[in-house]
Structure 1
Amino acid sequence: MISLSISTILRYKEFTEWTDTFHDVHGSIWLQPIAERKASVGEIISHLKSWDNYLISTIIPAIKNGEGMVFPDFDSFNKIAYEYARSGISKDRLLDEFKLTRLQLVEILLADSDVVSKHVTANGVETCPHTGTPYSLLYIIHEFNDHDNHHKNQILTVI
């Protein structure tokens, strides 16, 4: 379990190596939707940064306090992240903020295996309804890795 958790967390960290290449993405592509009714590359990066920050500021403290994980309504949460990407922040600054936030989260995860592996509820539910796996922060990071790959595949269609 320990090696699995470390590899899952390191995989989460490695995503920043790919996003580092976005500094070269042309500005005309950065805030253009990747498809009709979809987010732009910049909005996706802001969205990922916001979820990482939420894990740092809300989820990890809740687990440390013996509480479950509570996730907000995804649509309204993501809308705030998209607005941030369109707020006038530069592409380079947003990419740097994403990387710093992701690396900070990875450092926290690697430093506290008890918090990472502890079984907790997610919005009051003990196990994932799709897999039957008990919820833990490690499980969420595993899911977020899949989520990163989903967005990577979307972004690869436009860059």
Structure 2
Amino acid sequence: MAVKQNKTLNQFTDFLPWVEKLRETDKDLWIKPISTGKWSLREILTHIMHWDKNSLEMMLPSMAEGAKLFFVDIEKHNQEAAVFAQAYTTLDVLIDDLIKTRQQLLELLKEKYDDTNKFTINNWNYTYKKFVNVFIHHDEHHKKQIEAFLEQEKSA
């Protein structure tokens, strides 16, 4: 079990060095929407951090055998993150906060991770591994968006 835990949590941790590299982003680009009607890099990173905070403060403390949990209202949660993003005036501070939040989440995951525990979220069966994998895929989705945007901007 420890090997599976480490592999899953290592994948989740792999997001941090990638975020660090974003510090090199042109200061004008981080507030530009990645495409028409889409969020900016600032809003996407705040969105990810906002979900990490929700996992850290609301979900993980309640994950236990047989627990019945529910995700927050996703649209409302995402809109709150987009509004909160406007408070960030520098990319470095946002990246520092995101990394700090993810590290806190990882520490709690390392303490609590037990893939024998089964619980439900929104009436769907979950284990710690499945829960973390949801957010690994979420990170990957946004990484691809950001990388495509930055590549497009570089060649423009």
Shorter-chain TM range is 0.7 to 0.9
Q: Report the more deviating stretch, 64-73 or 105-114.
A: 64-73
Name the CA distance, whole Å, in 1 between partners of 2:75 and 2:59: 18
Deviation at 1:2, TM superposition (A): 3.1
Q: How does 1:2-21 map to 2 (within 5 A)?
A: 2-21=2-21
Task: Give the AA of the match of 2:124.
Answer: V
Quote the residue 2:102 is aligned against: 102
Segments of 5+ residues of structure 2 without an aligned counterpart are 151-156
Q: Is residue 2:140 matched to residue 1:141?
A: no
Report the TM-score, using the length of structure 2 for normalisation: 0.88
Segments of 5+ residues of structure 1 without an aligned counterpart are 127-134
Quote the residue 2:120 is aligned against: 121
Name the CA distance, whole Å, in 2 between partners of 1:88 and 1:16: 19
Task: Give the AA of the match of 2:13.
Answer: K
Report the TM-score, using the length of structure 1 for normalisation: 0.86
CA deviation profile, 1:29-68 (whole Å, cap 9, x unmatched): 1111111221111111101111111111000121259632
CA deviation profile, 1:100-133 (whole Å, cap 9, x unmatched): 111111111112223x55111011233xxxxxxx
Q: How many percent identity over aligned positions?
A: 28
Quote the residue 2:153 is aligned against: none
Give structure 1 regions of 4+ aligned residues with deviation exceeding 3 angstroms.
Answer: none
Name the CA distance, whole Å, in 2 between partners of 1:88 and 1:51: 17
Q: Report the more deviating stretch, 39-48 or 84-93.
A: 84-93
For the 8 Å contact 1:31–1:86, the answer to whether it is kept is: no
Q: Is residue 2:41 matched to residue 1:41?
A: yes
